[in-house]
Every structure is written in C-alpha cells, then in structure tokens.
Amino acid sequence: MIRMPPELGTALERLGDELGVLATRARNGLRYLAGDPLGEIAATPREPVWSRDKVVLYRYSKGAARMRTPVLLVMSLVTRPYVFDLRPGSSLVEDLLDAGYDVFLLDWGVPDAVESSNTLETYCDEYLPRAAQAVLHITNADRLTLFGYCFGAVLSLISAAAHPGFPVKNMVVMATPVDLSRLGPLANMLSKGRMEPEDLFDETGNVPASTMLDGFRLISPTSELSTLANLWGSLADERALAAHQALIGWANEQIPFPGAVFAQFVHLFLRRQLLMKGRIPLADREVALARIPCPVLNVLGERDTLVPPESSAPLLDALHGVELDTLTLPAGHAGLFVGREARKKCVPAIIAWLDQRD
Amino acid sequence: MATQPLWRQAVDTVDNAITPTVERVVHDETFGLVVTVLHRTRRGVGSHIERASRHVLHALNLPAGSDINRLLTQIAYVEREVRELRKLIDDQLPSP
C-alpha cells in the first residue's frame, strides 16, 4: 500500500476547501446575477392608514399598543422608502418599534407625468401637514416626531417652519443637503447655468431615475470598483450577500424626481442658496426656518459622499435660535441607519436623543 | 481587526491610487464643459432626428412620438384637474 506524505494530504485538504468555497461563490454569484431574492426585504408588517393622490401613509404594527410620541418617517423624493425597513435585523423601523415608538412612513410613490407639476408647496403645504394630522388622529397623540432623510429632511424642515401650528414635538433630520453646491459635478453644472433643470426632463416632465443615478455616480466615479470587490467578498457568505443585494439593490433603484420641484430646488436652493439663508419662498409667503418650534437633531455621516457633512453644516446658521443638536457618526449616506455599525452606534444614539425628549 | 485578504488589499491599493485622479478629472471645469457640450449636441441631434421623422410619419398620416408625448401631457393635465376636483369634494365631506 502506498502511503501519502502528510504535506500532500494537507495540500489536498486545502485544495478541497478552496474548491468548496469557489463552488459556493459560483452558485451564489449565479443566484445574484439571476436576481434571486436572497433574503427578506421590508419584512415588518404594515398597513396603509391614509392616502392622498399617490402618497400613502403606512403604519408599522408589532405587538402591543404604544404610548410614546409617534414617529413619522419622511423619505427623500428620489429613492424608495423601504430602506427604512431594509432587512430583518437591519431596520430602523424595527429598532424604533423595539424602543416602543409608534412608527409611520410617508411613501411619496413613483411620480409620472401627473406628478411632474408637484411643487414644494404640494409637499410642504399639502401632503406633509395632512399626513401629520392623520398620524395624530390615528394615535390620539397631540404631537409627533418628524424624522426626515436627505431631501425628505429638507421638506420636513420647510413644512414644520411654514405652519406655526404644526404638531411637531421633535425633529430628526438625517443627511440633510443644505448647501446644494456640494452635491457633485451635476449640481455644479446646474448652479453655473450651463444646464437648465428643464434640460434634464424626459417626456413625462420629470428628471428620469437614470439621470439621477448618473448624477450620483459622478460624485464617486470609482465607487463601482469597491462595490464589485465587496460583492466578490460576500459571495462566499450567504448572509453577507443578502445584505449586499438588499443595499445595492435599493441604491440602484432610484425613482424620477418630479420636474417642477426639481426646478425649484435648482433655482431657489442651488442658485440663490435660500436654504442656507434659512428663508424660503413658499406659495405667497416667506418661510423662516428659524421658526421651527421644536428641538432638532441634525445627523451627519462622516463618510457620506452623496451629502457630505459640509453640505449639512450650514443648517446651524439656517436654524439660528432653534435648539439644535448635531450628531456626527462614522457612517456613509445609508450607513447612518443600515448595517452593523448603524445598529451599534448610530441608531442607539438617535433613539437616546428621542428618549430624552419623550 | 481581521487582516484583509491579499486580493482585497490589491483592489484597495488600485482604488486608492486611481480615485483621487478620477475625482479630480470629474470635478474639473473642463469635464463640466465637455459634458455640457455633449449633452447639448445629443439634444440638438435628437431634435433634428425627431423633426425629420415627424415630417415623414405625418406625410404617411401616422402619429409621431412627439404627438404621443403631447397627448401624454394633455392626459396628465386632465388627470390633475380630476384629482383636484376629487380632493375638493373629499375635503368637503365629513371624515368617517
């Protein structure tokens, strides 16, 4: 009988292990390419409780009745809101529910030609105040917490400042673009007047999702490389791959930006920088952001490349006189509330701030 | 902290090396000008093609894309009007 040298046995064992990992990568890679869902997305049960046009207000339900101040999550206009409840175990909604808050989500829907004429007034004077009233009506609370993300934070700030009776107890604004000139090359071209907002509209009168995505990609042109490296790294681990698929899937799933409000953002906030000055013309009046009647928590991500901290920093001047706390966290744009770091540091810090004021 | 595998270290090295250059190019004035010129050229060529094809299609008594877009805009306008009327009615009704 021939005896195998022990080194050869070890080498064969390692080769077997490597082939096993390679086979797992190949299988998972095929599943990823085929678009096979690798994990649950937006799994927390919810029900629609109010709607107006395409805007739907959802209430998340989990367990017993909640006595704490209800939280209304307000999404940006260009991305889908399911990122707030991305995956079980990596969900802001779940964390807020676990902390005892009653959680509502305002979903703007996907705009088409009908929504192309939606303006700041549509969102800040019509949808947001009415959705807030619906939350109070359903919960019997007298005030709520407004929790805005990205452009949703801008809309929340304007709406709360524009309505003296807005029933808001606290505000959390996350990754808020205030100095829009910091939002990359596309913003730069628009601010210098080389492009007009209308140049970017499609036949529906909106800025198409693909144009928004191209604009974001220009901010970090080599980010695809690290995304691909992260994908390769997570192919051997099904849980990591599911997390990657969920987050990258969301980031690539932009929605069109309603044309009229996009034009207002360009003219008012990018070219005239009125958001930085804290004075915004809305309908036939001027809204002063400094009139926000509640404490505000401004959450920034140190590694946010889409809305860098320098873009949110002028909020301090715009909200002069308002009780403003700033929380700078070691995270990127979505990493503020998605992922392991968010669960360990970011979300607990936000919940602690809310708890103090509840 | 666990050490990154060799392949990942190599990717990160390449990424760190090229990112500053690529970002400098993309944020440069010249890049902005080139993109603007390309964008305008594409729109200009597109509108020439659209005009020419519209003439041909109309000569054959067929609708062109621009006719369909005009209809889309009109339908959207009507739908907005209906929406506003419905909201007026809904707001008058007592809430359940």
Q: What is the DSSP letter of A191?
A: H
**Residue written as tokens 């220009």?**
A218
For A32, the token pair is 């990823």
Q: Name which residue leads in pLDDT, A217 or A172.
A: A172
Locate the chain A residue with the closest alpha carbon to B66.
A203
Strands A168-174 and A103-107: unpaired
Q: Could you report how far apart the first and last alpha carbons of chain A are, in Å?
A: 78
Predicted confidence (pLDDT) at residue A216 exceeds the cutoff of 80: yes
| Helix B6-26, helix A223-234: angle, nearest 10 | 160
pLDDT digits (tens, 9 = 90+) for A316-350: 999 999 999 999 988 889 889 988 888 888 899 99
The predicted pLDDT at position B6 comes to 87
Least confident of A42-46, A330-334, B69-73: A330-334
B-chain CB neighbours of A113 within 8 Å are: 72-73, 75-76
- Half-sphere exposure of A117 toward its Cβ, with a 13 Å CA cutoff? 12
Interchain contact, B76 vs A52, CB within 8 Å: no
Interchain contact, A222 vs B18, CB within 8 Å: yes
User: Among A113, A194, A222, whose Cβ lies nearest the Cβ of B36?
Assistant: A194
Domain boundaries, chain A: 46-180+253-357
Tell me the percentage of chain A whose pLDDT exceeds 70.
Answer: 98
Q: Do B53 and B26 fall into the same domain?
A: yes
Rounded CA Rg of chain A: 23
CA quadruple A190, A207, A128, A152: dihedral, nearest 10: -60
Q: Work out the mean pLDDT of chain A and round it to a whole number.
A: 92
Q: Do B70 and B54 fall into the same domain?
A: no
Please state, as a whole number, how many other Cβ atoms lie within 10 Å of the Cβ of residue A212.
21
Shortest Cα distance, chain A CAs vs residue B54, angstroms: 16
pLDDT digits (tens, 9 = 90+) for A117-171: 999 999 999 999 999 999 999 999 999 999 999 999 999 999 999 998 899 999 9
Q: Could you report how far apart the first and last alpha carbons of chain B are, in Å?
A: 58
Predicted confidence (pLDDT) at residue A197 exceeds the cutoff of 70: yes
Interchain contact, A233 vs B12, CB within 8 Å: no
Interchain contact, B83 vs A199, CB within 8 Å: no
B4 lies in some domain? no
Predicted confidence (pLDDT) at residue B4 exceeds the cutoff of 90: no
B87 lies in some domain? yes
For A348, the token pair is 């607990």
CA distances from A225 to A41, A237, A300, B13 (A): 25, 20, 25, 11
Interchain contact, B33 vs A113, CB within 8 Å: no
Under a CB-based contact definition with an 8 Å cutoff, are residues A142 and A121 in contact?
Answer: no
Predicted confidence (pLDDT) at residue B2 exceeds the cutoff of 80: no
Q: Do B69 and B41 fall into the same domain?
A: no
* Spatial separation of the C-alpha atoms in residues A26 and A187, rounded to whole Å: 40
Q: Is B35 on the interface with A (CB under 8 A)?
A: yes
A-chain CB neighbours of B43 within 8 Å are: 199
Q: If pLDDT is split at 50, 70 and 90, which confidence band does B77 have?
A: very high
User: Please, is B41 exposed, middle or buried when counting C-beta atoms within 10 Å of its C-beta (0-12, 13-18, 19+)?
Assistant: exposed
Q: What is the pTM of this model?
A: 0.90
* Spatial separation of the C-alpha atoms in residues A197 and A194, rounded to whole Å: 10
Q: Is B78 on the interface with A (CB under 8 A)?
A: no
User: Among A112, A192, A222, whose Cβ lies nearest the Cβ of B15?
Assistant: A222
A-chain CB neighbours of B33 within 8 Å are: 194
Please state, as a whole number, how many other Cβ atoms lie within 10 Å of the Cβ of residue A110.
12
Predicted confidence (pLDDT) at residue A248 exceeds the cutoff of 70: yes
Mean pLDDT over residues B52-73, rounded?
94
- The range of the structural domain enclosing residue B47 comes to 20-62
The predicted pLDDT at position A65 comes to 62
Under a CB-based contact definition with an 8 Å cutoff, are residues A97 and A68 in contact?
Answer: no
Candidates A203, A206, A220, A340, partner chain B, best to mutate (most B CBs within 10 A): A203
Q: If pLDDT is split at 50, 70 and 90, which confidence band does A233 have?
A: confident
Considering its fold, how many domains does chain B have in total? 2
pLDDT digits (tens, 9 = 90+) for A281-315: 999 999 999 999 999 999 999 999 999 999 999 99
Mean pLDDT over residues A91-97, rounded?
94
B2 lies in some domain? no
**For chain A, which residues lie within 8 Å of any Cβ of chain B, measuring from their own Cβ?**
52-53, 112-114, 116-117, 137, 184-185, 188-189, 192, 194-195, 199, 203-205, 218, 220-222, 225-226, 229, 232-233
B-chain CB neighbours of A190 within 8 Å are: none
The predicted pLDDT at position A354 comes to 95
Shortest Cα distance, chain B CAs vs residue A178, angstroms: 20
State phi, psi for A242 to the nearest 5 degrees: -60, -40
The predicted pLDDT at position A1 comes to 62
Mean pLDDT over residues B40-65, rounded?
94
Q: If pLDDT is split at 50, 70 and 90, which confidence band does A93 have?
A: very high
The ipTM (two decimal places) reads 0.84
pLDDT digits (tens, 9 = 90+) for A123-138: 999 999 999 999 999 9
CATH fold group of domain A46-180+253-357: Rossmann fold (3.40.50)
Q: What is the DSSP letter of A161?
A: H
The predicted pLDDT at position B95 comes to 64
Interchain contact, B8 vs A195, CB within 8 Å: no
Interchain contact, A203 vs B14, CB within 8 Å: no
Q: If pLDDT is split at 50, 70 and 90, which confidence band does A7 have?
A: confident
Long-range pairs, A37-41, Cβ under 8 A, ≥24: A37/A245, A38/A238, A38/A241, A38/A242, A38/A245, A39/A87, A39/A239, A39/A242, A39/A243, A39/A245, A39/A246, A40/A87, A40/A88, A41/A82, A41/A86, A41/A87, A41/A246, A41/A249
